[in-house]
Chain A
Amino acid sequence: MTVITDALCPFCGCLCDDLTIVVEDNKITDVKQACKLGASKIMGHHRIKAPMMRKDKNSEFKEVSYEEAINEAANILSNSKRPLLYGWASAVCEVHKKGILLAEELGAIIDNTATVCHGPSTLAVHEKGLPSATLGQVKNRADVIVFWGSNPVHAHPRHMGRYSVFAKGLFSEKGRKGRKVVVVDVRKTDTANMADQFVQLEQGSDYLVISALRAILSGHADVVPESVGGVSKEQLSKLVDTLKTGKFVGIFFGMGLTQSKSRYKNIDNAISLVTELNAFTKCVITPMRGHYNVTGFGNVCAWETGFATAVDFARGAPYYNPGETAANDVLLRKETDAAMIIAGDAGAHFPADSVRHLAKIPVVQIDPYWNPTTEVANVVIPVAICGVEVEGTAYRMDGVSLRMRKMVEPTHLPDTEVLEKITERVKALRGE
């Protein structure tokens, strides 16, 4: 029996690094400290046993060798005029690097799961920058915590305990008792039930409410109507007071801002609010990133191509314009003529029309598990699970890079090796 301490969790952007893993005969038998999300991923489920292929998407898969599957994947991608390489967030940075090289070789579009998550946050950060801090700073200093359109009780279960609401630190030794917790949401979530102040707004009115807060903060309460987005002026003024009088305010936002009406403009406005609050007190803002290494893909892609996501290599040089080059844009325009889906599940998490197009074009899937993308795939290449069977680098939601540890020996090829072989084969097919 081996006990691994201080292991990292490969589930959400909290990237908890205090797990204890018990391993017996190369099998994980116990996971301690992890939340329900992390434990379920680390304990594992039914894996795809071997590579599989089929020509007709309505027929059954046939098991094939890795070599056959990799060759067919390379054939599909090199025959494509407008390939899309999508996913990446459930893989380590070393995989991202190989993926970007393949995208460049193919002249493909490479996009990651941020496109249906915090992609709009990236756009807003381009406009305004990100006045942020590490989660350690928040743990040690913050006395006001705001969750805006995010629900950590469900999506980031240990965030409150390790970094924000309950965490005890250098200047926050009282933990929960020393903190005021504000939740802004369209419905009373389980996180809202724990808040000192719950601000319930009408769906899609975040931009209006943030603008009203900025007006009050800058001394123009007189222009704010009695109710904005379903929130009374009194409540808005109280929220401004809470934010202004905090010594260190940490705002954490989620899909409530990125997926609602106004999309990236909501975050743009929220960043302006944070910037203006810094004239009165210390205030920081952080996106609640979903997959454990979606932040890592943004970083690797930015330093390799100059852009964080939705990068189009068709012109020979990186080009980026979400709205035009993001995964759903090209699928909905039916422009994509072949796709490789890796470490992400477009079949489950894209709108029906995008999946409908995926069902009509050749699809290569690289993933440990059978999921809706498998249902529309032609070639399926099962791989080792990053962060459980493969070590590598991942970025926490606050941009801190951490080293994922290997807990057990892999039973399948790692993503990096599969990508290297596909790239080699693509080059060979092109006579390079």
Chain B
Amino acid sequence: MTLNAILITGRTINQGATIENKTSSDYQEATAYCELNPKDIGILGISPGSRVLVKTDHGDVVVKLKENKGNPDGMAFIPMGPWANAVVDPDTKGCGMPGFKGIPARIEPTDKKVLLMKELIARYK
């Protein structure tokens, strides 16, 4: 099952607390996930902790699924960082700022693994 969602990215306390330690598993734990509300998780038919493939017109990335009851229906949140930035909209809209929020995304269950930071960046080389 694929869920169409609007993706936003942003800060979290654990993302910030590990920001100077980006080679650590703590950083990956803090940033390589996607939050949906319980209803949207129900549509995907999997449980939190499973892996999802997040696809946008700009790329795709595998992250862990998390529940956040505060998200409205059809809204996905990934903490800012290299996993989120694999799928954000680079267009700076004439003012220098890429599109880190409001990106149409397609989310589906996957068996693929979550890449380590090193592996993720290696895709760009």
Interface residues of chain A, those whose CB is within 8 Å of chain B, are 11-12, 36-37, 40-41, 44-46, 57-58, 111, 115-116, 119-120, 123, 151, 153-155, 157, 186-190, 192-193, 200, 203-204, 255-256, 258-261, 263-264, 290, 310, 322-323, 325-329, 332, 345, 347-356, 358-359, 368-372, 375-376
Contacts and interface: CB of A to CB of B under 8 A. Distances in A.
B39 interface: no
B22 A369 contact: yes
Contact of A57 (B8, B81, B125): B125
B95 A119 contact: yes
Contacts of B24: 45
Q: Chain B: interface residue count, which band?
A: 35 or more
Given A37-B16, A115-B97, A322-B96, A260 B23 contact: no
Nearest to A39: B17
Given A45-B24, A351-B90, A359-B121, 8 more contacts: A40-B21, A256-B101, A259-B101, A326-B97, A349-B85, A353-B90, A371-B23, A375-B118
Contacts of B71: 187-188
B41 to A, nearest CB: 15
Interface of B: 6, 8, 10-13, 16-24, 58-59, 68-72, 75, 77, 80-82, 85-90, 92-102, 117-118, 120-122, 124-125
Contacts, number: 178
B21 A11 contact: no
A399 B69 CA distance: 36
Contact of A258 (B18, B19, B92, B97): B97
7 contacts: A58-B122, A151-B11, A193-B70, A325-B96, A351-B85, A355-B124, A369-B21
A326 B69 CA distance: 37
Nearest to B87: A352
- Secondary structure at the B interface, as helix, strand, loop or mixed, is loop
B10 A260 contact: no
Given A203-B8, A348-B85, A328 B20 contact: no
Contacts of B82: 347-348, 355, 372
* Most chain A beta carbons < 10 A, residue from B68, B86, B90: B90
* Most chain B beta carbons < 10 A, residue from A12, A155, A157, A259: A259
B88 A351 contact: yes
A369 B87 CA distance: 25
Given A155-B11, A186-B72, A187-B77, A375 B122 contact: yes
A203 B72 CA distance: 10
Nearest to A189: B70
B105 to A, nearest CB: 12
B73 to A, nearest CB: 11
A44 B17 CA distance: 11
